[in-house]
Amino acid sequence: MSNLISMAPLFLLCVLFPCFSSAAHDYGSALSKSLLFFEAQRSGFLPRNQRVNWRSHSGLQDGKASGVDLVGGYYDAGDNVKFGLPMAFTVTMMSWSILEYRVQLAASGELGHAMDAVKWGTDYFIKAHTEPNVLYGEVGDGNTDHYCWQRPEDMTTDRRAYRIDPSNPGSDLAGETAAAMAAASLVFRHSNPAYANTLLNHAYQLFDFADKYRGKYDSSITVAQKYYRSVSGYNDELLWAAAWLYQASNNQYYLKYLADNGDSMGGTGWSMTEFSWDVKYAGVQTLVAKGKAGAYAPVFRRYQDKAEAFLCACLRKGYKNVQVTPGGLIFRQRWNNMQFVTTASFVAAVYSDYLTSSRSSMKCPAGYVQPSELLSFAKSQVDYILGDNPRATSYMVGYGNNFPRRVHHRGSSIVSYKRNSKFIACREGYATWFSKKTSDPNTLVGALVGGPDAYDNFADQRDNYEQTEPATYNNAPLLGLLARLHGGHSGYNQLLPVALPPPTKRNPITKKTFPSFFFLLLLLLPCRNCSESYKFMEGQRQSLLQIFFCYYKQVVKNSEESSAFDF
C-alpha cells in the first residue's frame, strides 16, 4: 500500500502530461558516434587512420579542370556535392563546440577526433582560397548530382568548380569561411601555432574580401540557389566573421566593426527565432553578449537583449515563441528540422554556462529564467533526439536499437566499394539500390537525420529525404552539446580570452522557484534514492518544456547555483 501511495504523484504526472521512456542516455557514446559521421562525409584521399572503413577515396580530380587542387572537404548531406556555405558553417560550429567544451572532449577521449574533423575542413578551405580575393565555393552541380544515385567513389557527374571574386562577389560565403578559419585558428592556437596563424591570415583576407566586394554568393554561384539560397543576405555573416576575428586576434578593429555596424546590419535589431547555416544573427548576438564591450557597452547590451530574446522564444517565454511538436521538439519546417534543434540547443547550453559563471539570470517577458532552465531545455532536445519521444525512436543512426535504417544517403545505401568495386552507373543506382526496401548495407553511424514532422510522425524510407537525409550542420553543434551533457560544466569561455599575439600582417580595410505544484510533487516522491527521483522529474520536465522557432522564409535543402536539475 505504501508503494502505491508513493507512486501516486508519478501517476498524476503521466495523466496530465505525456510520459515517454526517459532512460539515462549515454552521451559519451553518442558523442563518439557523432564524430564518426564526419568521417563518412569526407571527400578526397582518405587517411590511414580512417575509422569508417566502408568508404574509400573519392573526388580525386576535383578542381583539375579549373587548374586548382580542390581535393578534400566534406559532402554536405546525402549527395556528393561540396557546398561551401554549409561546409564553412559546419566547421565554425565544430570549432565553437571545441572552444566551449575542450576539457569535456579531452576527458571523453574525443578531442583529437574533433580537431581532426575541423582540420579536414580547414585544409580544404586553404586550397579553395587561392588568392586574397578568390574563393572556390562549390564543387559539383546539385542538378546533375541528384539525377544520379552513385557512391562518391563512382561519381560520373559534373565536377565543375565555382568561385567568387571581385567581379562575382559572395560576402556571405567569404564571411562564413572567414569565421570558420578564425574560429579554427583558436582550436589550433596552442597545439599547432604555425597552422593557426595560417588560418588567421586567410581569415583576415577573406573578411576584407567579403566586406569590400559586397554581394550575395548565390547571385554569383547561381547553381546553389536551389539548394542553399542565401535568404538572409550577407550582413549577418559579416558580423559573425567580425565576432570570430575579434576573438581570434584581440584586434580592436573588429570590436569597433561590431559596434559601428550592429544597428545598420541587423545585429542589434533582429529578434531571431532560428540559428542556421543561412541566418547567423543569434550566434553573433550570443558571442557578443558573452564578451567585454568596454566603451561600446550600450551597443553590446542591445546585442545581448536580442540574444536573450532568441532564448526566451525557444523557452516559449517570449513575445513571439517558437513552435513545438506534441512531444516537445522544436519545430520549424518539415525538411531537415533537426538542424534548427541542435543550433538552438547549443546556444542555450552555452548561455546557461555563461549565466552560471556570471551568477546571473535572464529576464523574459514571461518571467526570470535561471541557467538550469536553459540547460534543461537543451537536454530535453538532445534526449528527444536520442529516443525520449512518442515513437521511442533515436534519430541518430547507430544509437540505441530503434534508429533509421533506410537513410537518404548515397554512400550508405549502396554496397561498399571495398566489398564490391563493380562500377555502378548513374541511373543504375536508383534502380538497384535506391528503390530497395531493405536496410542500408552500410550503417551511417552518428548521422543525425532530418527528423519527425510537426506531430512527431516519422517514416523511415529512403525516398523520404525531408526526414531521413542527414547533414553535417545537423551534427556540428550536437558535438558541443553532447560533450557538455557528458562532461558537465568546467568553466565559462569569454568572447575575449587572453590570446597569443596574432600574425603581424594586418592593415584592415576601413570602411528559480519551480511552481508550487512541482515542488509539492518533489516533496511527495520517496527519497530512498533522491537522485532517481530527480531523474524522473527531469524526464517529465523535458516533456513540459515547449520550445522554438517562428517564421522562416526559406526552404532549406536536402558550484555556484545548483538545483535539482543542474548537471
3-state helix, strand, coil in the chain (%, to 5): 50, 5, 45
Residue pair 441/395 in contact by the 8 Å Cβ criterion = no
E strand spans, 218-366: 362-364
Residues in the chain: 567
Distance CA 227, CA 557 (A): 5
| Residue owning grid cell 559532402 | 75
Assess contact for 463 and 434: CB atoms under 8 A: yes
Q: Residue 42 is which amino acid?
A: R
Quote the distance between the C-alpha of residue 344 and its chain's center.
Answer: 9
* C-alpha distances out from residue 121 to 42, 206, 259, 379, Å: 9, 16, 30, 28
Give the three cell numbers for residue 12: 498524476
Closest listed residue to residue 160, CA positions, set 144, 176, 177: 144
Q: Which of 469, 486, 489, 566 is catalytic?
A: 469
Q: Which residues pair with 35 in a beta bridge?
A: none
Q: Are 184 and 122 in contact (CB under 8 A)?
A: yes
Would you call 227 exposed, middle or buried from its count of C-beta atoms within 10 A (0-12, 13-18, 19+)? buried
Q: Which of 408, 409, 486, 489 is catalytic?
A: 408
Distance, CA of 275 to CA of 70 (rounded, Å): 29
How far apart CA 66 and CA 322 sit, in angstroms, is 45
Residue 401, C-beta contacts closer than 8 angstroms, at least 6 positions apart: none
Q: Sort strands 367-369 and 161-164 into parallel, antiparallel or unpaired.
A: unpaired
Q: Judge whether 311 and 320 are in contact, CB under 8 Å.
A: no
Q: Is 408 a catalytic residue?
A: yes
Question: Contact, 332 vs 445, CB < 8 A?
Answer: no
Q: Which has the closest alpha carbon to 412: 60, 32, 35, 79? A: 79
Q: Are 462 and 408 in contact (CB under 8 A)?
A: yes
Q: Which residue numbers are catalytic?
A: 408, 460, 469
